[in-house]
Structure 1
C-alpha cells in the first residue's frame, strides 16, 4: 500500500464528519477472488467518534457512482444495503442544505450512527473527482 490514502467519501461540516478513507489495494489471494480496496469509515462529532474497517470491491465503486447520481438528482440513497459490509444511508433535508448520514454496522459491532452534515451543490463535483481518483490510483479487476 504505497499510495497515500484517498477519502472516497467525505461529508463534513458543523463539527461533524463522515469519511470513507481508502488506504490501498489488497491483491487477490486466488484467481477466483476479486481485488479489493482496504478502507475505513471514520465518524467524528463532538459527541461520538469511531472507526470501522471495511473492504471495497469494484461493484461497490460502481454502485457508489449510481448512488452519487441519485443523490445529485435529489433522491435519498442506500449504499451497500443488504450486504455483509457496513451500510451507508444519506437522507436529504428538503428544507435545508443538509443531510442525515447513517452508517450501520449490522455484522460486527451491531452499531448504527446518524449525524447531520451540510450538503451543498459543490460537494458533488468533489465526490465524483474522489471516485475517479480511486479508480485511477487502484485499478481493480473482477472475475
Structure 2
C-alpha cells in the first residue's frame, strides 16, 4: 500500500498482474463520495498498464457488484476459462484469458471504446498461484472499503447496520 497525494489515504491494488516486462493493475484510490447515499460505496480506481511499448492510465468507478463480478471472474479463470469483466457502457471492457494459445501465457485485453478508442493486449508470464494472489487482493479491498449502503428498493437506499 502507498499513500497517494489526492486526499484518499491509502491506495490498494485490486488487481496486480506483472511479469517484469508487462504489468496490469487496477488500483483502488478510495470512496468517491464518502457519507453520501447512494454513492458512498462507489470506489474511485485507476487502471494502469505498463509495457516496453505502451504505458496507459484510465479512471474507473467500481460498485460492490463490480467486486462481486471480479470474484466470479477469478472462479472462471481458476477453472481454465476466459472471462470478460467490466463489459458495460460506463467502463472499458477488460478481458482475461487463463491461457492465450498464441503466447502460451495468461493475457489481458483492455478496450476503451467509449472514451479513447484504444485497445491494449498484454500477454503475461505469471507464476503459479497468481489467481490466489488476486483473491487476496480482493479480500484486502473488501476489508478496507466494506459495502455500507443497502438498496432497499429501486431508487431507495439506507445505511447497513
Question: Structures share a fold, TM > 0.5?
Answer: yes
Partner deviation per Cα, 1:69-112 (whole Å, 9 max, x = no partner): 00011000100113321121012235876112111112111111
CA drift of 1:119 comes to 3.1
Pair 1:115 & 2:101 matched: no
Unpaired runs of 5+ in structure 2?
1-6, 152-161
Find the counterpart in structure 1 of residue 92 from structure 2: 86
Q: 1:136 to 1:29 in 2, by over 3 A?
A: closer
Pair 1:41 & 2:50 matched: no
Unpaired runs of 5+ in structure 1?
none
Find the counterpart in structure 1 of residue 131 from structure 2: 124
Based on CA coordinates, which of the two structures has the bigger radius of gyration?
A: 2
Number of matched residues?
143
CA drift of 1:25 comes to 1.2
Matches within 5 A, 1:70-81: 70-81=76-87
Of 94, 99, 103, which residue of structure 1 is paired with 2:110?
103
State the distance in 1 between where 2:64 and 2:53 align.
34
TM-score for both structures, normalised by structure 2: 0.80
Find the counterpart in structure 1 of residue 70 from structure 2: 64
State the distance in 2 between where 1:137 and 1:31 align.
19
Q: Comparing both chains, which one has the higher relative contact order based on Cα–Cα distances under 8 Å and sequence gaps of 6 or more?
A: 1
TM-score for both structures, normalised by structure 1: 0.89
**Pairwise CA RMSD:** 2.0
